[in-house]
């Protein structure tokens, strides 16, 4: 089975309601005749309902930028899987480097979020990646292995479509620096091998692995041409 490319846009803490509606409308129009790949957008929470209305009837997928592990409760500032599903959201970004390094989310917490999303039928876009110091110290693969193993601890998958993995080297996010094509492909190959140690061959070989980190129109084609890069997680561009 050929892996279907996924182009995902993380809007982070950008767009007012008016801006979000206009951007979503532009994306729907631009992707109306696209049939060979999936397109996903993750607007801020305040715009989810407005964007959901714009996406209705289109093929563009709606995601949240994070997800709680509980249906409801005293979790100030969180969004539950049920709230997202009510808006026709089907995916959630989990473990983004900004959540890890700005807000201090641990592998244990990220693992809870992955479990919670899957329990309610939400597809995690599970992010992993190393810092510049870790890369320069030669620890990239060790960091990725730990993040995957801990983040997916006790996570049972029935098929590769239930989870998307995203490799985003922290040193390349929003900095204008991009991993070379060879660096990105090397990390993706390693991640697929790591998945093979956790799941059966079909899941490891068919799970989509995205690259994120200063992706732009000038480098996206070269990245997407690599055998193990199945799409991109785009921020600024």
**Chain-centroid distance, C-alpha 68:** 15
Q: Tell me which of 96, 98, 105, 130 is the catalytic residue.
A: 96
Among this protein's residues, is 168 annotated catalytic? yes
Closest CA to 217 of 28, 30, 88: 30
Handedness of CA 132, 117, 91, 66 (dihedral sign): negative
Q: Tell me which of 98, 105, 130, 168 is the catalytic residue.
A: 168
Q: 219: phi > 0 → left, psi -120 to 50 → alpha, else beta; which?
A: alpha
Among this protein's residues, is 96 annotated catalytic? yes
The catalytic residues are 96, 168
């Amino acid at each position: 089975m050929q892996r279907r490319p996924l182009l995902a846009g993380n809007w982070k803490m950008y767009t007012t309601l008016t801006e979000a509606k206009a951007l979503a409308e532009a994306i729907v129009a631009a992707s109306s005749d696209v049939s060979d790949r999936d397109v996903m957008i993750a607007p801020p929470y305040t715009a989810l309902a407005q964007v959901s209305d714009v996406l209705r009837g289109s093929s563009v997928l709606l995601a949240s930028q994070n997800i709680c592990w509980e249906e409801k409760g005293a979790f100030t500032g969180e969004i539950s899987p049920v709230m997202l599903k009510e808006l026709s959201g089907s995916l959630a970004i989990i473990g983004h480097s900004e959540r890890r390094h700005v807000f201090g989310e641990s592998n244990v917490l990220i693992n809870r979020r992955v479990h919670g999303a899957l329990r309610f039928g939400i597809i995690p876009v599970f992010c992993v990646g190393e810092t510049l110091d870790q890369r320069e110290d030669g620890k990239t693969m060790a960091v990725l292995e730990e993040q995957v193993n801990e983040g997916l601890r006790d996570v049972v998958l029935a098929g590769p479509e239930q989870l998307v993995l995203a490799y985003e080297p922290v040193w390349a996010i929003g900095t204008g620096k991009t991993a070379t094509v060879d660096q990105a492909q090397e990390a993706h190959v390693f991640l697929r091998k790591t998945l093979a140690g956790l799941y059966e061959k079909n899941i490891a070989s068919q799970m989509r692995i995205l690259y994120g980190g200063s992706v732009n129109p000038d480098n996206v084609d070269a990245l997407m041409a690599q055998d193990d890069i199945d799409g991109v997680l785009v921020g600024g561009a």
